[in-house]
């Protein structure tokens, strides 16, 4: 019997016959921690008492509370900085040189087809968009990976998602993944891998694929994996560190479930509070907002910025709305400058920040007060996720976020003719 992509990668990395439900011990290609999860991992590594360290596989990226918002976050960042210096870890991305961890992992070439990557952050599953098996782990597990370069995995069952057709204008990956999560629920893929296949994949940009993979965890998924094709190769050709081997599923691979979607029938979606599974078609709603947020590891790439800039160009942000634009990395920030996107957003009345995760997790740089509503390109809208427990977060793609910033209410670009 053939194997899924997840089974193949875990077989390759463990040297074992990885089949759904089995336990394997596998070599990880990279382990990533950020300024929140890293300090815990550092202390646990010290407890292990092992002198060996897999430095070349370790990636340290401060992003959640940088620039530091208070003394506590400054201490976290300092601990990460000092750990990197003490152990001679070269893959450390100081503020001003990096950005949001998952964007940096891709830009700097750590993520690549066929690799097994773990990260002490739940949205590590993002790299499945370029054919990696990547998944979130805890800080203690990260410490073990520091010391041994290996971890144990229970091989997940796989849900096959067959895609056909092509997205309509102003519809993209965020709309697809909200639709999928709405259909199967936030526990519909518990400890399973999504594997995306079909002719529809060929019509999707790599940026859209990364968005879809990023939110696999919001359905309980262990990973969300796309095949490697010419678009993937083009996307990573100037960045990947070292050799890599693309992995495809066998024709006779076994799946626990098959889902089918025609991309041409996907509508602009928005997930209502307080779950990513609470999806609704934007055309059916009329909700006033106080804040529009464009950014995060889900939709903070240059492609998202271009989409949003094209929509707001020549228009003004609604006078009762705060429009926050946060590129996912320093490289995206520079591209925005070079392409004139920064000027477009500034002319529209947006606030532009350097890369940070702050507002996404309700940390800082965009906190909501009681009763306020935000439409956000982030990945979670739990109670209190971006501020007060009585605030509301509506998840959407960059198209809807940009249009809503202009309209003052949740909208699609086609509705902006009146503004």
Q: Is residue 417 pLDDT above 90, yes or no?
A: no
What value does the mean pLDDT of the chain take?
A: 95
How many Å apart are CA 10 and CA 24, to the nearest integer? 8
The 10s digit of each residue's pLDDT in 98-107 is 999 999 999 9
The 10s digit of each residue's pLDDT in 30-86 is 999 999 999 999 999 999 988 889 999 999 999 999 999 999 999 999 999 999 999
Task: Output the pLDDT for position 241.
Answer: 84
Residues 6+ apart with CB under 8 A from 51: none
Tell me where in the chain the CATH 3.30.499.10 domain(s) lie.
5-262, 269-413
Q: What are residue 22's phi and psi, to 5 degrees?
A: -80, 160
Residues 365, 368, 371: CA angle, nearest 5 degrees: 170
Task: Output the pLDDT for position 1.
Answer: 84
Residues 6+ apart with CB under 8 A from 233: none
Task: Output the pLDDT for position 284.
Answer: 82
Q: Which residue has the higher pLDDT, 417 or 394?
A: 394
Q: Which residue has the higher pLDDT, 415 or 200?
A: 200
pTM for the model stands at 0.95
Task: Output the pLDDT for position 419.
Answer: 61
The fourth-level CATH superfamily of domain 5-262 is Aconitase, domain 3 (3.30.499.10)
The fourth-level CATH superfamily of domain 269-413 is Aconitase, domain 3 (3.30.499.10)
Q: Is residue 246 pLDDT above 90, yes or no?
A: yes
The 10s digit of each residue's pLDDT in 321-359 is 999 999 999 999 999 999 999 999 999 999 999 999 999
Q: Are 210 and 178 in contact (CB under 8 A)?
A: no
Parallel/antiparallel/unpaired status of strands 373-376 and 392-395: parallel
How many Å apart are CA 407 and CA 106, to the nearest integer? 34
The 10s digit of each residue's pLDDT in 173-198 is 999 999 999 999 999 999 999 999 99
The 10s digit of each residue's pLDDT in 283-296 is 889 999 999 999 99
How many Å apart are CA 402 and CA 331, to the nearest integer? 21
């Amino acid at each position: 019997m053939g194997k899924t992509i997840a089974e193949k990668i875990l077989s390759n990395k463990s040297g074992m016959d990885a089949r759904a439900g089995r336990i394997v011990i596998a070599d990880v290609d990279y382990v990533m921690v950020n300024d929140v999860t890293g300090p815990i991992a550092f202390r646990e590594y010290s407890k292990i008492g092992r002198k060996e360290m897999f430095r070349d596989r370790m990636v340290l990226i401060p992003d959640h509370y940088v620039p530091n918002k208070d003394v506590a976050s400054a201490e976290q960042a300092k601990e990460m900085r000092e750990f990197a210096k003490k152990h001679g870890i070269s893959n450390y991305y100081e503020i001003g040189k990096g950005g949001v961890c998952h964007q940096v992992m891709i830009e700097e070439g750590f993520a690549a087809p066929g690799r097994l990557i773990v990260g002490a952050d739940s949205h590590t599953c993002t790299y499945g968009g370029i054919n990696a098996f990547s998944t979130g782990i805890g800080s203690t597990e990260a410490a073990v990976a520091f010391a041994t370069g290996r971890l144990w995995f229970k091989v997940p069952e796989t849900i096959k998602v067959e895609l056909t057709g092509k997205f309509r204008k102003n519809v993209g990956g965020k709309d697809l993944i909200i639709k999928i999560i709405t259909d199967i629920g936030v526990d519909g893929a518990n400890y399973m891998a999504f594997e995306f296949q079909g002719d529809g994949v060929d019509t999707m940009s790599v940026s859209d694929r990364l968005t879809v993979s990023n939110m696999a965890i919001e359905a309980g998924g262990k990973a969300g994996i796309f095949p490697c094709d010419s678009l993937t190769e083009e996307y990573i050709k100037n960045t990947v560190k070292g050799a890599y081997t693309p992995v495809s599923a066998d024709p006779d691979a076994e799946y626990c479930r098959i889902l089918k979607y025609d991309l041409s029938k996907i509508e602009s979606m928005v997930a209502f509070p307080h779950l990513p599974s609470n999806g609704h078609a934007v055309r059916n709603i009329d909700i006033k907002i106080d804040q529009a947020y464009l950014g995060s590891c889900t939709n903070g790439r240059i492609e998202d910025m271009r989409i949003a800039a094209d929509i707001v160009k020549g228009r003004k942000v609604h006078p009762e709305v705060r429009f926050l634009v946060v590129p996912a990395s320093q490289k995206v920030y520079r591209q925005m400058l070079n392409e004139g996107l920064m000027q477009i957003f500034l002319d529209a009345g947006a606030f532009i920040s350097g890369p940070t995760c702050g507002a996404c997790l309700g940390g800082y740089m965009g906190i909501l007060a009681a009763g306020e509503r935000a439409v956000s390109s982030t990945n979670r809208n739990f109670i209190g996720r971006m501020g007060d427990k009585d605030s509301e977060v509506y998840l959407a793609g960059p198209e809807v976020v940009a249009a809503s910033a202009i309209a003052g209410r949740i909208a699609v670009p086609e509705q902006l003719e009146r503004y």
